Structure 1
Amino acid sequence: MAINNVVSVQRNFLTRNRKIAWTILLAIISFALFLGVFFAGIKAGLPLESERKLASKVAKEFIASCPVTDPGDESARNACGEKLGQSKLLTKVMAPTFVWGRQVNVNDYDVVKNRTMTKFNPFVWRKLYASTFMFTGTFTVEQVHDWQGRLLTVAHIPYKFRNKMDIGSYPYPFWHSKIKWDTYQQSKELLVVINEGKIYGALRSLEQDLNRDYVSREWDGRWHWINKEGKAEPHVTLYSALFSKNNPYVEQLDTAFRELEVNSREYNCATCHHPSNPAKISPLGFMIYPNQTLTMRHKIVSVIRSDRMPPAATIGDAPHNTQYIPPGIADETKRLHLLKLAETFEQTADKALAFEGQSID
């Protein structure tokens, strides 16, 4: 009897120990799985509260910098652009190359595969483009996955558009395309797209308010013009409008750009790199306006150095009378001269941006 009791006690003891051991083992496995998911999530940019907090800070920065005023108030626009341009937060979190366009599909915030995108230096976009918006004071934050499974954190910031300014106060004539002009005026939100702590792009929302005050404009076919005072337009595209008055590199940069632009005309660079985008480049980079060409400064040097542009072409009317023209600049002396001009433009632009406290990509 005593022996049976001892055996029974031992069995109960072993059973309890097994249960405890299994409980501990399962706890360890669960914790290990949690850690794996957690760190994988950080690597893949999965939902993190810090990302939502960043989106909220970004939205509040736009709202505080650009409150709603009269849509024709140029001084308010300038003040907005100055605040956005000098924002330490936005300078820190915006990617070196920023893309901007319109949302094409509902709930699609992927700025990589979107074919409407144009790339900009973030400082240029903030001062020149974002400043055309006025923010109503509210915002929401959403987290969604793109087609590659990456988590995108999107700040939805309702806005109104400054549609009554002088035509030279816009980065270029948006009204060359009715679709574009309409989306600027009638889109309800600015959608700021964040991934892994960086703002990679922004979109004008697909959702529109057709009851907004609408201003019709007709394009006269000109990308550039001279105003009644004899000054170049659009005036906001000039370096003097972008950089601070005490920036010592503005005049040098303007000279460098003009020399590069004049010498590149025979290669028709601006034929493709302008707002109408006949070659359907995505993302598009502009080469017809001084401050918007800053985005392309490194690329221009790269393609001239590697002799990859102009692209290959064929000339002739019939299949048997065509001639293949290889890519690049045939005259080596001209190529080297153009490369030197491009390098001067690139280096001077870097100095001008650094003076403003902007990151040099």
Structure 2
Amino acid sequence: MAASWTRGLAWLALWFAGLPAWAAGSEPSTQQWAQARAAAAEIAGAFTRHCPVAGTGDQPAFEQCRRGLFGDAALRDSLDAIVLWGRQRDPALSLQASSLTQFAPDVLTGLYMPLFMFDGQHSVRYVASEGLFQLRFATAFRNRLAPGQFPYPFWHDAEKWAMYQGANEVLLWWEPMRGRVKAAQFTVHGTQPPVTVVKRMPAPTDFSGQWMWMDAQGRTQPKATLFDGLYRADNPYLGQLEGSYKRLALRLRQGECDSCHVPSNPGKSKRLVLLQTPAHAAGEIGRLLKAVREDRMPRDETGIANPLDAATKKALLEDGEAFASVLDAARRWETQARMAGAAGTPDLR
């Protein structure tokens, strides 16, 4: 009992010191090394199978990559229920100190990872300070896609756009105890050049301050965030999804949620949650509704919970639940279509 109590106090000390839940522990075993290498090889196989090297503006190759990664059960099963994502500005910077965005696996595999291509080169190292294996995959970024194929205008930040264009590796941080990827990053600090030549280009469009916009044909953009290419085109709930999200977005603005949960990260959060598009909100809707019900958001400028007034809270919950309901219906329809043997893309789970 005394030993257990001592270990408990030690864990609490680490937690209050701000270390991640997967903080460094003992050195990995031979078996864990073998498991990490096997996981890296399996993921590298999925990357190269679905996202081989192609032109940086090759739309068919990009669509193949999106459908493949989004529907790859083995890849999805390797990701934790919440995965942190972002750029590796400094290899010496710990994950705890890095600014990363929280994603559901579907968002990462459907919107972000397909922006990269792979040739199978990979390596594995153990980072003792993190207590995690780092699975490294040689890559290159698709910088010449149409603006609406990016999850949001990365070029709102010149440094971010430059780092995406210069990316030469994708890093997956793999936890040996649970065999899951806890965090993912892209980096320009790999030892080799990108797997194909990526000619730097200026921002595809001017950034107007809007994370979603209408193109010249009156279509909502970014197209990628409307589940385009992930759900079947004949899914009867696609139109309802966009409409229900617009109602939810209005409530989010009324609740001042959009003052924090946007890519520019005005609150300088180390763990950002994005809600500015339907696909991003779909990955977080359950956690969002729980936080609102429990009066844990929004937060004031000091980070303290500042509960909504009763009317705003009620309206936000109603529209949030309506969006979640349509999303569930769209997912069920996709599942049923697939089970019936119809050709198409997998469900968003």
TM bucket normalised to smaller: 0.7 to 0.9
Residue 85 of structure 2 is matched in structure 1 by 100
* 1:343 paired to 2:321: yes
Q: Deviations over 1:251-304 (max 9, x none)?
A: 443333222112232222112111110101221111111101122212221222
Residue 3 of structure 2 is matched in structure 1 by none
Residue 126 of structure 2 is matched in structure 1 by 143
Q: CA deviation at 1:241?
A: 4.1
* Conserved 8 A contact 1:59-1:155: no
Residue 125 of structure 1 is matched in structure 2 by 108
Q: 1:79 aligns with which of 46, 56, 64?
A: 64
* 1:204 paired to 2:186: yes
* 1:263 paired to 2:251: yes
Could you tell me how far apart the structure 2 residues matched to 1:313 and 1:283 are? 16
How do 1:208-247 residues align onto structure 2 when only pairs under 5 Å count?
Answer: 209=193, 212-217=198-203, 219-222=206-209, 223-247=211-235
Could you tell me how far apart the structure 2 residues matched to 1:101 and 1:83 are? 22
Q: Deviations over 1:328-350 (max 9, x none)?
A: 122x2332232122223234434
* Conserved 8 A contact 2:172-2:185: yes
Could you tell me how far apart the structure 2 residues matched to 1:63 and 1:86 are? 15
Could you tell me how far apart the structure 2 residues matched to 1:70 and 1:238 are? 24
Q: Is the deviation greater in 250-259 or in 209-218?
A: 209-218
Could you tell me how far apart the structure 2 residues matched to 1:137 and 1:313 are? 45
* Conserved 8 A contact 1:98-1:120: yes
Q: 1:281 aligns with which of 269, 274, 279?
A: 269
Q: CA deviation at 1:207?
A: 0.8
* 1:328 paired to 2:307: yes
* Conserved 8 A contact 1:106-1:206: no
* Conserved 8 A contact 1:52-1:153: no
Residue 184 of structure 1 is matched in structure 2 by 164
Could you tell me how far apart the structure 2 residues matched to 1:359 and 1:291 are? 10
Could you tell me how far apart the structure 1 residues matched to 2:347 and 2:262 are? 25
Aligned residue type for 1:187? A
Residue 160 of structure 1 is matched in structure 2 by 140
SS in structure 2 at match of 1:137: strand
Could you tell me how far apart the structure 1 residues matched to 2:241 and 2:26 are? 40
TM-score normalised according to structure 2 size? 0.78
Q: CA deviation at 1:358?
A: 6.1
Aligned residue type for 1:289? T
Alpha-carbon spacing, 1:121–1:203, altered in 2? closer, same or farther (3 Å):
same
Alpha-carbon spacing, 1:303–1:68, altered in 2? closer, same or farther (3 Å):
same
* Conserved 8 A contact 1:313-1:326: no
Q: 1:303 aligns with which of 265, 272, 291?
A: 291
TM-score normalised according to structure 1 size? 0.76
Could you tell me how far apart the structure 2 residues matched to 1:263 and 1:132 are? 31
Q: CA deviation at 1:326?
A: 8.0
RMSD, aligned CA: 2.7
Could you tell me how far apart the structure 2 residues matched to 1:333 and 1:106 are? 47
Q: Is the deviation greater in 70-79 or in 96-105?
A: 96-105
Q: CA deviation at 1:77?
A: 0.3
Could you tell me how far apart the structure 1 residues matched to 2:241 and 2:174 are? 32
Q: CA deviation at 1:247?
A: 4.1
Give me the identity figure in percent.
28
Alpha-carbon spacing, 1:312–1:155, altered in 2? closer, same or farther (3 Å):
closer
Q: Deviations over 1:226-254 (max 9, x none)?
A: 11211111111113443233545434433
How do 1:17-28 residues align onto structure 2 when only pairs under 5 Å count?
Answer: none
Greater C-alpha radius of gyration: 1
Q: Deviations over 1:186-207 (max 9, x none)?
A: 1210111111311122111241
Could you tell me how far apart the structure 2 residues matched to 1:82 and 1:335 are? 37
Could you tell me how far apart the structure 2 residues matched to 1:120 and 1:181 are? 20
Q: Deviations over 1:23-58 (max 9, x none)?
A: xxxxxxxxxxxxxxxxxxxx9682411222112211
Q: 2:155 aligns with which of 164, 170, 175?
A: 175
Residue 10 of structure 1 is matched in structure 2 by none
